[in-house]
């Protein structure tokens, strides 16, 4: 017996206030609340069906068969919720570099949560979909929604989920991704953040200051104050990367070209262009700016980088079912 196949599309999100550390590694309960912007340019399409003739889950990513052990642990959660014993066929295409610090795990698990739960016959409310996506990758809890999204850390499986802040934001902002390295990062987000929790002497200070950053950025978003939003996001990102350098053994996702971009953004700012940077667990830089300034910023970046390395994104939608081509 083969179930109906469902295809879901989820967009990645870039955190302006970062999630960096877990209170519960198994349930993926974070140490702090985080806030992100879902992006239109980067996304994952995932198709799932259950097939009773399969002896194990089968997983294809970008047309190549993958080891299914991690995804199977997630599918076990879906099976448990749906009271199903059948294995699944999962096919996914990333329209975002995989494991490169461009949040492929966020779009991946948000798309998988919707496609798998539907194929299993479930009709989850968005809050429960966010909780399910969270179990695959914490940042995926936020990709259930579009626009600005907050992940409320909660304190257990039921209370830890994302909520939309402005789903269909009319704010004409722009995120330019400077892709410095598309390859797999050396330290996964999962491993990096756990090392920080366990060894950085500055971790308690991070928790305290990220709470403050979150409260102030929410106000600034409401006020449409790009200067404030950008400044808070930039400082929050640098605090996260400072944690990595203060861990034992210490590590950093920065490459020489990363620093070059940071300096260029600071130079542009000194010239009066309102732009700010943020970075996730990888060397690639995302520049937050207004849509009107993006052309000018791209021109300056194009002096040092190939056009193919410069990708422009805007606020994007939440996860949805699509019909497969
Ligand atoms: P990223 O910065 O891309 O989010 P992470 O280290 O957080 O990198 O996570 C990458 C994880 O997500 C890996 O375990 C990878 O196998 C998984 N992943 C990426 N894309 C998909 C996909 N489309 N479907 C399922 N899992 C995926
Ligand atoms: C730096 O959600 O990828 O992008 O929950 O272990 O899968 P796991 O980690 P992941 O971590 C994202 C970290 C970050 C910041 C953020 O997105 O908030
Ligand atoms: Co990730």
Is the CB of residue 319 less than 8 Å from the CB of residue 111? yes
State how beta strands 87-95 and 58-61 pair: parallel
Specify the DSSP element, H or E, that contains 96.
Answer: none
Q: 192 CA distance to ligand 2 centroid (A)?
A: 10
Strand partners, 303: none
Distances (CA, A) of 216 to 131, 141, 242, 293: 26, 22, 21, 24
Domains and CATH numbers, the chain: 6-170 (3.30.230.10), 173-313 (3.30.70.890)
189 in contact with ligand 2, CB cutoff 6 A: yes
Q: Read off the tokens for 104.
A: 């492929």
Say whether pLDDT at 184 is over 90. Answer: no
- pLDDT at position 99 is 79
Residue 172 has what pLDDT?
94
Rounded CA gap, 73 and 79, in Å? Answer: 10
Q: Which residues, by Cβ under 5 Å, contact ligand 3, an ion?
A: 105, 189
The conformational region for residue 99 under phi > 0 = left, psi -120 to 50 = alpha, else beta, is left
| pLDDT band at residue 98 using 50, 70 and 90 as cut-offs | confident
Per-position DSSP letters for 187-205, written without gaps between them: S-HHHHHHHHHHH-TTHHH
Q: Residue 66 pLDDT more than 80?
A: yes
Asked if pLDDT for residue 285 goes beyond 80, the answer is yes
Q: Which H or E element spans position 256? A: helix 256-270
- Of ligand 1's listed atoms, the one at least distance from the Cα of 104 is 3
Q: Other C-beta atoms within 10 Å of 158: how many?
A: 10
pLDDT reported for residue 325: 63
Q: Is 279 in the pocket of ligand 2 (CB under 6 A)?
A: no
Answer yes or no: is pLDDT of 164 > 90.
yes
Cis preceding-peptide flag for 249 (omega within 30 of 0): yes
- For 71, phi then psi, to 5°, come to -70, -30
Segment 255-277, tens digit of pLDDT: 999 999 999 999 999 999 999 99
What's residue 60's pLDDT?
Answer: 98
Two tokens, residue 258: 């990363």
Task: Say if residue 173's pLDDT is above 90.
Answer: yes
Ligand 2 centroid, distance to 260 Cα (angstroms): 24
* Mean pLDDT rounded to a whole number for the chain: 97
Write out pLDDT tens, residues 236-256.
Answer: 999 999 999 999 999 999 999
Q: Report the percentage of the chain scoring pLDDT > 70.
A: 100
Beta bridge partners of 90: 48, 59
Q: Residue 138: which pLDDT band, with cuts at 50, 70 and 90? A: very high
Minimal-distance CA residue to ligand 2 atom 4: 280
Asked whether the predicted pLDDT for residue 185 surpasses 90, the reply is no
Quick one: which ligand is closest to 97's CA?
A: 1
Residue whose token pair is 């808070």: 232
Q: Report the residue among 109, 137, 281 best suited for mutation to probe ligand 1: largest number of ligand atoms under 8 A from its CB.
A: 137
Measured distance CA(193)–CA(238) in Å, rounded: 14
Sorting pLDDT into bands at 50, 70 and 90, what band is 22?
very high
Location of structure tokens 């200070």: 205
Q: Where are the beta strands (DSSP E) in the chain?
A: 6-17, 22-24, 29-30, 34-51, 58-61, 64-66, 87-95, 148-152, 161-166, 173-178, 275-279, 285-290, 310-313, 320-322
Residue 104 CA to ligand 3 centre (angstroms): 6
What share of the chain has pLDDT > 90, as a percent? Answer: 94
Q: Is 138 in the pocket of ligand 2 (CB under 6 A)?
A: yes
Residue 29 has pLDDT above 80, yes or no: yes
Report residue 101's pLDDT band, with 50, 70 and 90 as the boundaries: confident
pLDDT above 80: residue 100: no
Ligand nearest to the CA of 100: 1
What average pLDDT does the segment 78-100 reach?
95
- pLDDT number for residue 315: 97
CA–CA gap between residue 240 and residue 242 (Å, rounded): 5
pLDDT of residue 269: 98
Lookup result for tokens 């399910």: 132
pLDDT of 182 above 90: no
Confidence of residue 102 (pLDDT cuts 50, 70, 90): confident
Ligand 2 atom nearest the C-alpha of 34 is 18
Q: What is the pLDDT of residue 186?
A: 85
């Amino acid at each position: 017996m083969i179930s109906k196949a469902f295809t879901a599309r989820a967009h990645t999100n870039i955190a302006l206030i970062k999630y960096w550390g877990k209170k519960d590694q198994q349930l993926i309960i974070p140490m702090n609340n985080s806030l992100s912007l879902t992006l239109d340019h980067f996304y994952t399409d995932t198709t799932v069906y259950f097939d009773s003739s399969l002896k194990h889950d089968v997983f294809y990513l970008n047309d190549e068969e993958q080891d299914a052990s991690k995804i199977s642990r997630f599918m076990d959660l879906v099976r448990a919720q749906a009271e199903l014993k059948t294995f699944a066929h999962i096919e996914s295409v990333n329209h975002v570099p995989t494991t490169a610090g461009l949040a492929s795990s966020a779009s991946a698990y948000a798309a998988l949560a919707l496609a798998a739960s539907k194929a299993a016959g479930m009709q989850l409310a968005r809050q429960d979909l966010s909780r399910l996506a969270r179990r695959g990758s914490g940042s995926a809890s936020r990709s259930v929604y579009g626009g600005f999204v907050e992940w409320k850390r909660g304190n257990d499986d039921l209370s830890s989920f994302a909520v939309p802040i402005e789903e269909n934001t009319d704010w004409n902002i722009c995120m330019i991704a400077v892709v410095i390295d598309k390859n797999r990062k050396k330290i996964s987000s999962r491993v990096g953040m756990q090392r920080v929790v366990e060894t950085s002497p500055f971790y308690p200070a991070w928790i305290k200051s990220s709470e403050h950053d979150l409260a102030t950025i929410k106000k600034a978003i409401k006020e449409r104050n790009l200067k404030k939003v950008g400044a808070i996001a930039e400082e929050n990102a640098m605090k996260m990367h400072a944690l990595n350098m203060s861990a034992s053994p210490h590590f950093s996702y920065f490459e020489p070209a990363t620093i070059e971009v940071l300096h260029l953004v600071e130079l542009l700012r000194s010239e009066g262009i309102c732009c700010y940077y943020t970075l996730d667990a990888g060397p690639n830089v995302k520049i937050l700016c207004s849509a009107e300034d993006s052309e000018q910023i791209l021109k300056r970046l194009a002096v040092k980088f190939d056009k193919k390395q410069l990708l422009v994104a805007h606020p994007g939608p939440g996860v949805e079912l699509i019909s497969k081509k």
